[in-house]
Amino acid sequence: MHSGNQLLLLVGGAELFPALVEAMDTARRVVHLETYIFEFAGSALGVAQALERAAQRGVLVRLVIDGVGTPRVPDEWKKRFAQAGVRLRVYAPLGRLGLLIPSRWRRLHRKLCVVDGTVGFCGGINIIDDQDDVALGRLVAPRLDFSLRVAGPVVADMVETMEQLWWRLQAVRKARQREFRAAWEALRETLPVGDFSRLLARLEAGSDRDTGANHRKPDGESSPPASLSDGPLGVDNARAALLLRDNVSHRHDIERAYLKAIGESRHDVMIANAYFVPGRKLRRALLMAAQRGVRVRLLLHGKYEHFMQYRAARPVYQTLLGGGIEIHEYATSALHAKVAVIDQRWATVGSTNLDPLSLLLAREANVMTTDRRFSALLHRWLADVVEREGQQLDAQVLGQRPWHQRLLDRLAFGVMRATLFLTGHRY
């Protein structure tokens, strides 16, 4: 946990994309962006254009997209990125057999961006217009989602994790091209960065080992100080940490942080999550909190997108409702948020759904803070959404639905658990 961070909550692409563009347009050394979905349409085009402009100025621009979330980049933008000098990598392309191979279920789901090592972004917002949805089509209202703009020590941790993934992708790429020496050199770069100042020094010296290009800053220029606007949902000097989930050294970090915070809760648990199928440990922690007299409120996605996520969640809802937990479905539009506030003393914003895909398989990233000011602001925001735009579920009504619907729910839950068993996981 680091002190001295500045945190600004950004609601939807309407707030995130202009902040990204502003940071990218002032970049002098490096822009590094990772995202699950990059849709080259609508308001998301502004981000693509900002990446292009930065590369044209000589800034080192790296873009990593997921092979499932973004299966295809339009030919026009492939050409534009190549001409500008944007370095584009695809995480785990599916190939001919696609998702039939269980190892390919491990996706890059995190949404991270760092500019010049001084400002970072972390959250759940993909690079897609707020009213465009891959599954639901054009939405009647913007989806509900969040991201954080961060300045301070946490940004160094973002740089380190993004650098490691980039060079691993480089190693795989070179190995496939039978350039084994280059692959080994790239693999060496995945070792822990350690001293962040050495990393920045390398970037400033123009060490771009994937192209050999020189990106030296003009003489006499210095980086502007990182700062955040005095918006109503921003705080300075906050204690915060970057939490990761991967398949190597951070398999359960995010889940454990949730379990610890919920286990220590005394008054109020507020969770907004898009795909909510918690495992046994999380379910037990939530139920035990409710038994202690903690008010537990869940704001969840209420629209049907995918059979498995929608149906498998219903048996879990029945159990939680029976234990005194409030479940509110977001009724206005799609909900894609992955945030939580506990006792207005602990909060997290990130890419992690509380479901098996996020907690067991995907690469995820959340920022966690124990800043009471930020926690209170986010809590007030979520409570207002629950009050105005949530539809509270009733346990009796849910249990009295037609038998065939309840059968489909149980079938989906069983298939989900059996599928996870094939990957070596119990949930």
Is 109 among the catalytic positions?
A: yes
Instruction: Judge whether 111 counts as a catalytic residue.
Output: yes
Q: What is the DSSP letter of 286?
A: H
Active-site residue identified among 32, 66, 116, 355:
116
CB atoms within 10 A of CB 168: 15
Instruction: Name the β-bridge partners of 295.
Output: 268
The CA-atom distances, in angstroms, between 385 and each of 236, 300, 303 are 25, 11, 16
Catalytic residue among 174, 215, 328, 336: 336
- DSSP string covering 45-93, please? HHHHHHHHHHHHTT-EEEEEEETTTS----HHHHHHHHHHT-EEEEES-
Task: Pick the catalytic residue from 129, 130, 343, 409.
Answer: 343
Contact in structure between 12 and 125 (CB atoms under 8 Å): yes
Catalytic choice (32, 66, 109, 301): 109
Catalytic residue, candidates 32, 66, 111, 246? 111
Is 268 one of the annotated active-site residues of the chain?
no
303 in catalytic set: no
Catalytic residue among 32, 174, 328, 338: 338
Q: Dihedral through CA 48, CA 52, CA 54, CA 55, nearest 10?
A: 140
252 among known catalytic residues? no
Strand runs labelled E in 92-200: 111-115, 119-123, 132-133, 137-138, 146-151
CA distance 328 to 216: 52
Active site annotation includes 116: yes
Q: Give the residue numbers marked as catalytic.
A: 109, 111, 116, 336, 338, 343
